[in-house]
Structure 1
Amino acid sequence: MAFDTNAFLIIFTGSLIAISCGFLGVFMMLRKMSMTGDAISHAVLPGIVIGFFVSGSQRSLEVIIGAGLLGILATLMIDWLRKRARVQLDASIGITFTLLFAIGIILINLLAYKVDLDQECVLYGEIAYLPIDSWITKNGMNLGPRITWLAGLNFLFVVGFIYLLFKELILTSFDENFSSVMGIPSKGVNLALMSIVSYTTVSSFESVGAILVVALLVVPPATAFLWTKSLMPLLKLTAILGVSIALFGYYLAYWIDSSIAGMMVTVAGFFFLISALIHSKKPAWLKGTSSSNPPLEFE
């Protein structure tokens, strides 16, 4: 199979989304909040419906703003239930996303029952359609797929966010009380992180769908964590896994004529299972090897 332009665009866009989600997922995992991304992906449905009702378009800025605000609201609800109501984190996440998701379904039935907008089209995307959705200028110039530009912009946002708040993210992820003593506004940093997670989740819906977004937030960081406990190698390995998932997922989907997004999730799960099996065998494999040059180095 020749590597054509469409294949490159799909793999490149998938890689950008995978790296963006993976980087954020690393800090979510360190905070033991990995499944908050799943909650956000469901909880933003009311915001999407309201944004669509206001603008009349699924691709408008109002939809992104509405979904982002609902993502922040979901984060605040989870935090309030966990800290003030003293509900366990997993229960807080379950209560929040089921409540907001149910409200979104009700709003669809009330406000959008005559249009093609339902929970299925919101939660599932197909990246294979990406090449045919191009930005065309007034002069007739084709700037390439709109989703690719949005994925690139989101990638820059995520990298810039981590670069600017790297120290704050580390301190608040490992010891929130100590960071507060150091004068770092841990609640503000957490809210900023959840806000960009919300934006990344929503901006990736149309191209890959919520299922793949949640998988990319959780699986690559968890897989990388099996191989290294150092933060910088963890981020680098997460990025490598993200690109590998996009690459192998595309070609395997092409080979068996299946969903690209679904195959990417499958590849991510396969990488994790293989890593878990290797990690479980580590003590036996390291027996008798030189400590100065171990095959896996954990810090």
Structure 2
Amino acid sequence: MVLATEMGSSQPESSFDLSTYLVKRKEAIEVALDSALPVIYPETIYEAMRYSLLAGGKRLRPILCLASCELAGGTISMAMPTACALEMIHTMSLIHDDLPAMDNDDYRRGQLTNHKVYGENIAVLAGDGLLSYAFEFVATKTENVPPQQVLQVIAHLARAVGAAGLVSGQVVDMESEGKTDVSLETLNYIHAHKTGALLEASVVCGAILAGASAADLQRLYRFAQNIGLAFQIVDDILDITATQEELGKTAGKDVQAGKVTYPSLWGIEESRRQALQLVDDAKAQLAVFGSKAIPLLAIADFITSRSN
């Protein structure tokens, strides 16, 4: 994958070490996730939930939540329950997406998918359990945040993951498989909902917890919309160019499933250019925040330079 710097995109201040930042945030999130979900009776369902929740990954969504909360003047502790909930919801979507009735994949994050280990019935229930627990976790574990802001976060998450968000994106994605006349508008709709809605919620919910103004929430919303679409374009490119070992899941699945992708419409080089333009547009939304936005700016560049 071509790095953003090679394509002319500006980088945040050199004194900021994104790699160290991502590692430290991910470590804190892993600890929080591990303690959030103990194994109790019946052990099978909790083990299945933990199997996928603790399987690794970039933890990009919770990291975005923490970063946006700090940008808006909040703290990591204020945002950590919502950050964990976002990862629970994301994990649910992966478990369900991998099922034979959906995208039918055998590997996720470098290990067997949930249904390959626990069976389809337990995998469905593990996803259901993570989804419902995510909302309980936000409601009962968030501290030092006004109740109205916690309620606003819960409502925002529910919309992002429901029929107005992730679910509708998945439906249109499945209905579009095998069709050769899928338009760019339809493709944008799929990914703005299936991928973008939860990424957008990750950024906006962190800022809501910190009490950000309506104007700042709009800036962060536009930022997140752009990086969400850029993230999916890069995913489509990597499905063609990366190996299974790099991706941690089966490569070439989009072509096998007969899906229209951004590279199939634009080609790989134009897709890269479009992703970088989206990231530049996203970063422009944060200019008003000055140095406080450096972590989010660096994460935006990371989206187009990642290899998995």
TM-score by length of 1: 0.26
- Bigger Cα Rg: 1
TM-score under structure 2 length normalisation: 0.25
